[in-house]
Amino acid sequence: MNEYLSLAIVCILVFFINIPFGYWRYGVKKFSLQWFLAVHLPIPLVVALRYGFHLGFQLYTYPFMIFAFFSGQWLGARIRKKKTN
Protein backbone atom coordinates (compact mmCIF):
# COMPACT_ATOMS: atom_id res chain seq x y z
CA MET A 1 0.00 0.00 0.00
CA ASN A 2 1.16 3.51 -0.76
CA GLU A 3 2.81 5.15 2.26
CA TYR A 4 0.74 8.33 1.94
CA LEU A 5 -2.50 6.37 1.70
CA SER A 6 -1.50 4.42 4.81
CA LEU A 7 -0.84 7.69 6.63
CA ALA A 8 -4.24 9.06 5.60
CA ILE A 9 -6.04 5.89 6.74
CA VAL A 10 -4.22 5.84 10.06
CA CYS A 11 -4.96 9.54 10.66
CA ILE A 12 -8.67 8.95 10.00
CA LEU A 13 -8.68 5.97 12.37
CA VAL A 14 -6.81 7.93 15.05
CA PHE A 15 -9.33 10.76 14.71
CA PHE A 16 -12.32 8.43 15.20
CA ILE A 17 -10.65 6.47 18.02
CA ASN A 18 -10.12 9.69 19.98
CA ILE A 19 -13.70 10.96 19.80
CA PRO A 20 -14.99 8.76 22.66
CA PHE A 21 -11.89 9.52 24.72
CA GLY A 22 -12.44 13.26 24.25
CA TYR A 23 -16.07 12.78 25.23
CA TRP A 24 -14.95 11.01 28.40
CA ARG A 25 -12.23 13.58 29.13
CA TYR A 26 -14.65 16.50 29.02
CA GLY A 27 -16.80 14.93 31.76
CA VAL A 28 -14.08 14.53 34.39
CA LYS A 29 -12.02 16.89 36.51
CA LYS A 30 -8.99 18.27 34.68
CA PHE A 31 -5.69 16.56 35.58
CA SER A 32 -7.47 13.80 37.54
CA LEU A 33 -6.61 10.13 37.00
CA GLN A 34 -9.59 9.68 34.68
CA TRP A 35 -8.58 12.75 32.68
CA PHE A 36 -5.03 11.42 32.39
CA LEU A 37 -6.33 8.04 31.23
CA ALA A 38 -8.70 9.61 28.69
CA VAL A 39 -5.75 11.44 27.13
CA HIS A 40 -3.19 8.63 27.28
CA LEU A 41 -5.08 5.35 26.77
CA PRO A 42 -5.43 5.86 23.00
CA ILE A 43 -1.65 6.18 22.56
CA PRO A 44 -0.93 2.41 22.47
CA LEU A 45 -3.67 2.09 19.84
CA VAL A 46 -1.99 4.77 17.75
CA VAL A 47 1.37 3.01 18.06
CA ALA A 48 -0.25 -0.31 17.08
CA LEU A 49 -1.82 1.33 14.01
CA ARG A 50 1.57 2.79 13.02
CA TYR A 51 3.14 -0.66 13.20
CA GLY A 52 0.15 -2.36 11.59
CA PHE A 53 0.29 -0.05 8.58
CA HIS A 54 4.11 -0.08 8.45
CA LEU A 55 4.38 3.67 8.93
CA GLY A 56 7.16 3.65 11.46
CA PHE A 57 7.99 6.92 13.16
CA GLN A 58 9.22 9.20 10.39
CA LEU A 59 9.32 12.85 11.38
CA TYR A 60 6.95 14.00 8.63
CA THR A 61 4.10 11.86 10.04
CA TYR A 62 4.02 13.55 13.45
CA PRO A 63 2.15 16.76 12.51
CA PHE A 64 -0.60 14.73 10.82
CA MET A 65 -0.91 12.24 13.67
CA ILE A 66 -0.90 14.93 16.37
CA PHE A 67 -3.54 16.89 14.48
CA ALA A 68 -5.73 13.79 14.10
CA PHE A 69 -5.27 12.87 17.77
CA PHE A 70 -6.19 16.25 19.19
CA SER A 71 -8.93 16.90 16.64
CA GLY A 72 -10.66 13.70 17.75
CA GLN A 73 -10.24 14.68 21.40
CA TRP A 74 -11.60 18.15 20.67
CA LEU A 75 -14.63 16.85 18.74
CA GLY A 76 -15.48 14.35 21.48
CA ALA A 77 -15.36 17.10 24.09
CA ARG A 78 -17.44 19.38 21.86
CA ILE A 79 -20.11 16.70 21.42
CA ARG A 80 -20.35 16.20 25.19
CA LYS A 81 -20.45 19.94 25.81
CA LYS A 82 -23.36 20.37 23.39
CA LYS A 83 -25.16 17.36 24.86
CA THR A 84 -24.94 18.70 28.43
CA ASN A 85 -26.11 22.23 27.54
Q: Is 43 exposed, middle or buried (0-12, 13-18, 19+ CB in 10 A)?
A: exposed
Q: Residue 38: which domain range?
A: 3-84
Q: How far apart are the first and last CA of the chain?
A: 44
Query: For the chain, what is the domain count?
Result: 1
Q: Is the pLDDT of residue 15 over 90?
A: yes
Per-residue model confidence as pLDDT tens digits over 22-70: 999 999 999 999 999 999 999 999 999 999 999 989 999 999 999 999 9
Measured between alpha carbons, how far is 24 from 10 in angstroms, rounded to an integer? 22
